[in-house]
Amino acid sequence: MKIPSPALRAAAVSLSVAVCAALAGCGGVTFAGRVIAGPANIASVVPASDPRLESATGVGGVLIELKDEKQNLVGSGVSDLDGKFAISVPTANAPTRPTIVRSTGKGLQAAETTLYLPRDGSRLLVNVKDVPAASSDGAPRQ
């Protein structure tokens, strides 16, 4: 049996890595969480055992974007009817510095929070707030 040359082995490894990255099925990081109705617009990292991840009122149809410190989009996802979401990011693109979590949705105030993404099985909890209703003079109601 002939042993492939080092150059041929290196080319095969490079091709395997490229195919793996293109399929995004290997080496990815998934950031899971839930969007809930809250008194403020803020994202936070909570333990997977946080009861709000199951019992609070979920909000569906919310776009969650993860951006790096230069506002480059790293990943995004939309919450399902129960407010749950999962955003998969290839490992090479997964931020290791503070990340901007942006939430937007119809009838909701857009919000951004900067935080370190969970790495230990914790989850993202995104609180969203409705756009304040306007009074008859056009000013927001308090």
Considering the domain boundaries, does residue 22 fall inside one? no
Residue 46: domain span: 28-128
Considering the domain boundaries, does residue 53 fall inside one? yes
Dist. CA 59–CA 55, nearest whole Å:
12
Contacts of 110 (CB under 8 A, 6+ apart): 41, 102, 103, 104
CB 36 within 8 A of CB 83: yes
Dist. CA 56–CA 53, nearest whole Å:
7
Residue 16 has a pLDDT of: 41
Tell me the H-state helices in 38-140. Answer: 52-55
Considering the domain boundaries, does residue 14 fall inside one? no
Considering the domain boundaries, does residue 20 fall inside one? no
Is residue 53 pLDDT above 90, yes or no? Answer: yes
Considering the domain boundaries, does residue 94 fall inside one? yes
The residues facing 125 across adjacent strands are: 34, 44
The amino acid occupying position 141 is R
Sign (positive/negative) of CA torsion 17, 30, 61, 43? negative
Dist. CA 2–CA 124, nearest whole Å:
52
Based on the structure, what is the number of domains in the chain?
A: 1
- Per residue in 63-79, pLDDT tens? 999 999 899 999 999 99
Dist. CA 56–CA 35, nearest whole Å:
9
Kindly report the CATH number assigned to the domain that includes residue 65: 2.60.40.10
Residue 91 has a pLDDT of: 86
Residue 96 has a pLDDT of: 86
pLDDT-derived band at 13 (thresholds 50, 70, 90) equals very low
